Chains A and B, each alone.
Chain A
Amino acid sequence: MTSVIRVDHLHKKYGDFVAVDDVSFSVEAGEIFGILGPNGAGKTSTVECIQGLREPTGGAIRMLGLDAIRQRSQLRRRIGSQLQESALPDRIKVWEALDLFASVDQSGPDWTLLMDQWGLTDKKNAAFANLSGGQRQRLFVALALVNEPEVVFLDELTQGLDPAARRIAWDLIRAIRERGATVVLVTHYMEEAEALCDRIAIVNGGRVIASGTAQELIATSGTGVQVLFTTDAADISWLDDIDGVDSVTRDHSRVDVRGSGPVLALVASELVAHGIVPADLRAVQPSLEDIYFNLIGSDRKDEGA
């Protein structure tokens, strides 16, 4: 796979305030890449630098084989973006916005198809101010796609949407990838990153504190596996001797085993060997959310020390 975006040691200061300290990552062609982090982590500044909307104070960014800072005017037309905290004029109509954004491209792409695909045809003559949150987001995505971009930036696309509208937005994001574009998704919703992203960079305090696929992040986090079952057996002390088991706690019939590695398979086979066959044996994998709060939390502690 080839890198579509390569960010090396990006640094961005506003006056004395360091928004992005040292951020490096690369985005491969055709993936949905998530940039995840709490508010004020430097996510938006990072993607705005990549898009050439802000001038970095340090570092290098290459996109689609070009220098994203010096050759930004050439890149502008090859990217699509939905910006956080941006808007359209209140009284502009849906079709007018699409028509205007399409006119930037000399070839004059046909926006009527896009309007149809994103379910905006009914709202064609509606003013921007009268659209619902979900309709606005659909319009922003349609506008980001109007020039058939190779890379699409979505910054907090689903913020402020209700859960149902958010699910619909997720389908839309997957549909963008289906069209062949690479997607950079900025979010602070863990669930969203886990559901959509092929790879994720977790940003905190202007630095990438972890990156990889959701599974890699979970595996390398050191957060173990939890095995749960119920049994009436009196003696289960032998569970402690199984490889990979760190702790066993018991509350009446409920047993909670913590460990790492293939601990579920080992516990299961030992249980069977001891004649215990619980119907409710299950393992709980740590979610990305656990990892995230773990990482952000330890990062904060480090800063405090």
Chain B
Amino acid sequence: MSMLAKLTWIELKLLLREPFAVIFTFVFPLVTLVVISGSFSIEDADADFRGAAPWDYYLASYIGVVIGAVGMIALPVHLAAYAERGILRRFRASSIPTWSVLVAQVIVGFLMMVIGSVVLVIASRLIYGADLPGQPLGALVGFMVGALAFLALGLLIAMITRNARAAQAIGMILFFPFFLLSGAGPPPDVMSSGMRSVSDVIPLTFAVRALQDPWIGEGQNGISLALLAAMAVIATAATFWIAGKKT
């Protein structure tokens, strides 16, 4: 096995041994999705949930939550600890360059997002009979672009803070408002206009819409995809610029 493949495999095992990351990525979204989907009935559909059943609406939203949890919390906290504790330096001295650690983290983070999402889809189908995406290809594109944007954000948070506690603080400050206002909390129709205007500009909303629109059969959301792609490019460039400067 090549070094990068080995590093990625070890990183995957390490992240799965991290209880904090596992709880935040797999358990938290699952429990919250099951509770909130069960809080509404089919009569609540139509306007409140963009015309979809509550569980279909929330399933796409909570896949967004998984993306956000990995990108804003699990990945940056893990990687910032590497920078803080001299692990990146230790690796670099033994010809394991920092970029290879970043690539391994992105692959592992993506796998966690996929696993977390599959868990949600299975649970929601079993419990509420939720639908699979109406436009699967569109949903897949939405998922990929949203995932990459938040993985890039995770790398950037880690490289800016280089300290696990600081990364956790920033991650939490971003995560909870994003979580509540991106569609995983109250449906947009019951939000006040102030809340809705905040919801309209937070990045996790773009990730949710890029996935939810094709999921409930409303086609691709071009603006969200473009904004997410821009976020991915800018965050990646900034990450490598900072990583290069600190070497």
The reply on B95 being an interface residue by CB < 8 A is: yes
Report chain A residues within 8 Å CB of B17: 91
Report chain B residues within 8 Å CB of A284: none
The reply on B14 being an interface residue by CB < 8 A is: yes
B82 interface neighbour in A77, A89, A103, Cβ under 8 Å: A89
Report chain A residues within 8 Å CB of B96: 100-101, 104
Report chain B residues within 8 Å CB of A103: 1-3, 6-7
The reply on A96 being an interface residue by CB < 8 A is: yes
The reply on A242 being an interface residue by CB < 8 A is: no
Report chain A residues within 8 Å CB of B10: 92, 96, 100
Within 8 A of A (CB), among B2-29: 2-3, 6-7, 10, 13-14, 17-18
B94 interface neighbour in A81, A85, A87, A91, Cβ under 8 Å: A81
Report chain B residues within 8 Å CB of A77: 95
Name B's interface SS: helix
The reply on A86 being an interface residue by CB < 8 A is: yes
The reply on A83 being an interface residue by CB < 8 A is: yes
The reply on A53 being an interface residue by CB < 8 A is: yes
Given A96-B10, A100-B6; A88-B90 close (CB under 8 Å): yes
Given A91-B18, A103-B1; A86-B6 close (CB under 8 Å): no
- Flag A137-161 by CB within 8 Å of B: 1 or 0 each: 0000001101100000000000000
The answer to whether A86 touches B87, judged by C-beta atoms less than 8 angstroms apart, is yes
The reply on B125 being an interface residue by CB < 8 A is: no
The reply on A46 being an interface residue by CB < 8 A is: no
Report chain B residues within 8 Å CB of A81: 93-94
B90 interface neighbour in A80, A86, A91, A96, Cβ under 8 Å: A86
Report chain A residues within 8 Å CB of B2: 103
Within 8 A of B (CB), among A219-270: none
Name A's interface SS: loop
The reply on B86 being an interface residue by CB < 8 A is: yes
The answer to whether A83 touches B3, judged by C-beta atoms less than 8 angstroms apart, is no
The reply on B165 being an interface residue by CB < 8 A is: no
The answer to whether A86 touches B86, judged by C-beta atoms less than 8 angstroms apart, is yes
- Flag B55-97 by CB within 8 Å of A: 1 or 0 each: 0000000000000000000000000001001110110111110
Most central of A86, A88, A99 by chain B CB within 10 Å: A86
Report chain B residues within 8 Å CB of A51: 93
Nearest CB in chain A to that of B90: its residue: A86
In the bound complex, CA of A53 to CA of B13 (Å):
28
* Min C-beta distance of A47 to chain B, whole Å: 10
Within 8 A of B (CB), among A22-44: none
* Min C-beta distance of B141 to chain A, whole Å: 34
The reply on A76 being an interface residue by CB < 8 A is: yes
Within 8 A of B (CB), among A52-77: 53, 76-77
- Flag A94-115 by CB within 8 Å of B: 1 or 0 each: 0010011101100000000000
In the bound complex, CA of A51 to CA of B85 (Å):
19
A100 interface neighbour in B7, B18, B85, Cβ under 8 Å: B7
Nearest CB in chain A to that of B92: its residue: A53
Report chain A residues within 8 Å CB of B3: 100, 103-104
Report chain A residues within 8 Å CB of B95: 76-77, 104, 147
* Min C-beta distance of A221 to chain B, whole Å: 35
The answer to whether B14 touches A86, judged by C-beta atoms less than 8 angstroms apart, is no
The answer to whether A143 touches B94, judged by C-beta atoms less than 8 angstroms apart, is yes
Nearest CB in chain A to that of B94: its residue: A101
Q: Identify the B interface with A (CB < 8 A).
A: 1-3, 6-7, 10, 13-14, 17-18, 82, 85-87, 89-90, 92-96
A53-B93, A76-B94, A104-B94 are known; give 16 further A-B pairs, CB within 8 A.
A80-B94, A83-B86, A83-B93, A87-B85, A87-B90, A91-B17, A92-B14, A99-B6, A100-B10, A100-B96, A103-B2, A103-B6, A104-B95, A143-B94, A144-B94, A147-B94
Q: Supply 12 A–B pairs (Cβ within 8 Å), ascending by A.
A: A53-B89, A76-B95, A81-B93, A83-B93, A86-B87, A86-B89, A87-B86, A87-B90, A99-B6, A103-B3, A103-B7, A147-B95
